[in-house]
Amino acid sequence: MNLYDGYQWFLEQERKRKEQMKKNQLSIINHQLQKLLSEVCHWIADWKKYDDVENQLVHRFGIVQSSLWDLRWANNYESEKVAVAQGLLISHILEHEQFEQRNYLSDRLEYFMRQFGNIDWPAYLDYQHWKGQAIL
């Protein structure tokens, strides 16, 4: 093994470490968003009326083997597309519902999405773009 091979090995290990760290951070954000979504569902009377919005987001962002209401697979928790879709679903619900904790939950959503922006800025910009669009 020469010096160049050792350096390449080091760079590859560093890339893998950074990639795993990003996946871990995305998983934390997605878990927080999943908890926030369940809190939002708790405050509204009929969350099933948003199934069409959820289905459209699932198809638009290519989420597999799960619904946004109940993520089950680790690969979905490690996906930036899932974070964008969850943020959009929560945002859509908060725009169309009136309840006591709405402003508080909206502030928490924006806090989590800003944290998400620190992890993956292009995906956060995608969230901001779609947030301004009508989902249905």
Tokens of 105: 């939950």
pLDDT (tens digit, 9 = 90+) per residue, 71-130? 877 777 888 999 999 999 999 999 999 888 999 999 999 999 999 999 999 999 999 999
Give CA angle at 49 (134, 70), nearest 5°.
95
Residue of 51, 29, 40, 46 lying closest to 127 (CA atoms): 29
Q: How confident is the model at residue 37 (pLDDT cuts 50, 70, 90)?
A: very high
Query: What is the pLDDT at residue 90?
Result: 95
Q: CA-CA distance, 134 to 22, in Å (whole number)?
A: 30
Map out the domains of the chain as residue ranges: 3-131
pLDDT (tens digit, 9 = 90+) per residue, 56-73? 999 998 887 778 888 877
Look over the chain and give the mean of its residue pLDDT values, rounded to a whole number: 90
Q: CA-CA distance, 76 to 79, in Å (whole number)?
A: 5
CA-CA distances (angstroms) from residue 110 to 13, 73, 88, 128, 131? 34, 25, 11, 10, 11
Query: What is the pLDDT at residue 127?
Result: 95
